[in-house]
Amino acid sequence: MSQDTTRFSTHGNSLDSAQSRNIRRTQLDNGLVILTERMEHVRSVSMGVWVKTGSRDEQPEINGVSHFVEHMVFKGTKSRSAQKIAREVDAIGGNLDAFTSKETICFNMKVLDEHVPKALDVLTDLVMHPVFAPEDIDRECKVILEEIKMDEDNPDMLVHEIFTQSFWKDHPLGKPILGTRETVRRFDQGTLFDFYGGRFQGGNMIFSAAGNLDHEAFVRQVAEKLAHLSAVPAALGPLSDHPKVHARIVSKQKKSLEQLQLCLGVPAPAVNDEQRYTAALLNAILGGGMSSRLFQNVREDRGLAYSIFSELSSFRDTGSLCVYAGTSAQNAEQVIRLTVEEFRRIKEQAVPEEELQRAKDQLKGNILLSLESSGALMSNLARQEMYFQRFYAVPEILEKVANVTSEDLMRMAQQLFVPESVAVAMLGNLNGLKVTRDHLAC
């Protein structure tokens, strides 16, 4: 079996935070990409199998199947029961986990370096040999239905879901990752195996690892387990096209809630857009921390909300910048007005240099702190491969952040904060509250 192997050594430049990363990449004949980053100063190894499609790549009638399959692989394989999997992981002190997002499914494990062969055996068995037993499907259906209920009972999660479904209406990106009661109840063994067979293929998967490990030895072990994966068919790719944004104002009455939950959002750059650093700083200044404008203005100065923040969500072809607040119904209109005023202010007035530098330092700290563990680096490797097909050194990223100017921020704000592009979602006891486009004139 031929293999394509590349070594990346990303070194620091003139920035004082220079960092060297020993990254290796190998691609097997079946298209599976294996990535490693050696960390000689740690005893752990984190490894993850990443499937490069998620809930946004599902057909409407099987919405939630990615998440369902993620759950089901833990229920047993051809050679291991669910109990045996749990016992073997506990016996090596491992941490086994998984998650499903809009654009990926990930199965991961963290262990001591001496237990890599055993961990690799368990992890690849989970991914490669699930049985999807009908009785397990029935039980897991009940579990996931309870998970859906749990999210619906969580007001801040629910208002975000309402916002997302309205913002990308009628597009798979707007569908819930968990699926709906109707779709989840329809899943059977045939549905799961059809989805699994079409997605869990070499060219649609990445195996990344970081920690105290040797690349060549790790590749040999992975190839032994996964070389028989079929290559992804040429026709397989992202199933959903570029989503159209719907800047709607939606509200849901829920009298049992003490607070009114608010989301105000606008379209934002995609994850690999060249302006992503400007967008990240704009988010930090607007509502990304305790010193942000919204936190200080709405919470600290006026006491109108306990929780208020902004968040940037980026996907392969689009994104959103969304402000969340929990407040009383009588204060909701004022919170909306203050938020829109901040949109307008950042469009019309240059951000002071001191404030911009504080945001840059905050973002720098977040980036550096997020890469301190083997698990974080493992995840970073996979995401860079998926979205960029290259690996950015930390100093390179920090330099791009440092080069963002107040003029860049103003231009982006003028692009994003357009009144007709602002979407709103409200959840709670509305008490007759109605938000119109006049409220959103930024």
Give yes or no: residues 218 and 272 share one domain: no
Does 381 map to a domain? yes
Question: What is the structure's pLDDT at 7?
Answer: 62
The pairs formed by 142-149 with CB atoms below 8 angstroms and a separation of 24 or more are 143/71, 144/64, 144/67, 144/68, 144/71, 144/178, 144/179, 144/184, 145/181, 145/184, 145/185, 147/178, 148/176, 148/178, 148/179, 148/180, 148/181, 148/184
Residue 39's domain comprises 3-11+21-226
Residue 13: pLDDT above 50?
no
Least confident of 107-121, 182-196, 284-298, 427-441: 427-441
Does 16 map to a domain? no
Does 240 map to a domain? no
Question: What is the structure's pLDDT at 265?
Answer: 97
Q: Say whether pTM exceeds 0.85.
A: yes
Give yes or no: residues 342 and 288 share one domain: yes
Band of pLDDT at residue 432, cut at 50, 70 and 90: confident
Give yes or no: residues 221 and 270 share one domain: no
Does 239 map to a domain? no
Does 233 map to a domain? no
Give yes or no: residues 279 and 216 share one domain: no
Give yes or no: residues 112 and 158 share one domain: yes
Give yes or no: residues 221 and 267 share one domain: no
The b/e string for 42-64 (b: 16+ C-beta within 10 A; e otherwise) is: bebbbbbbbbbbbbbbbeeebbb
Give yes or no: residues 315 and 425 share one domain: yes
**pLDDT digit string, tens, across residues 353-408:** 999 999 999 999 999 998 889 999 999 999 999 999 999 989 999 999 999 999 99
Residue 70 falls in the annotated catalytic set:
yes
Residue 192: which CATH number? 3.30.830.10
Spatial distance between the Cα atoms of 371 and 374, rounded to a whole number of angstroms: 8
Tokens of 426: 């409200």
Residue from 37, 58, 70, 342 carrying the catalytic annotation: 70
Question: Which DSSP letter does residue 263 get?
Answer: E
Looking at the structure of the chain, the number of domains it has is 2
Orientation of helix 82-91 relative to helix 116-128, angle to 10°: 160
Band of pLDDT at residue 241, cut at 50, 70 and 90: confident
**pLDDT digit string, tens, across residues 262-300:** 999 999 999 999 999 999 999 999 999 999 999 999 999
Judged by DSSP in three states, 213 sits in coil
Residues 6+ apart with CB under 8 A from 408: 275, 278
Question: What is the structure's pLDDT at 88?
Answer: 97
Orientation of helix 134-152 relative to helix 155-167, angle to 10°: 100
Give yes or no: residues 221 and 309 share one domain: no
Cross-strand pairs, 249 = 424
Q: Give yes or no for a contact between 172 and 115, defined as CB atoms under 8 angstroms apart.
A: no
Q: Give yes or no for a contact between 333 and 439, defined as CB atoms under 8 angstroms apart.
A: yes
Q: Give yes or no for a contact between 67 and 100, defined as CB atoms under 8 angstroms apart.
A: yes
Give yes or no: residues 187 and 91 share one domain: yes
Task: Give the helix/strand (H/E) hosting 50.
Answer: strand 44-51
Residue 2: pLDDT above 50?
no
Give yes or no: residues 222 and 253 share one domain: no
Give yes or no: residues 340 and 206 share one domain: no
Band of pLDDT at residue 18, cut at 50, 70 and 90: very low
Give yes or no: residues 422 and 370 share one domain: yes
Residues 6+ apart with CB under 8 A from 208: 34, 35, 36, 47, 48, 50, 378, 379, 381, 382, 385
Phi-psi region of 431 (alpha: psi -120 to 50; beta: other; left: phi over 0): left
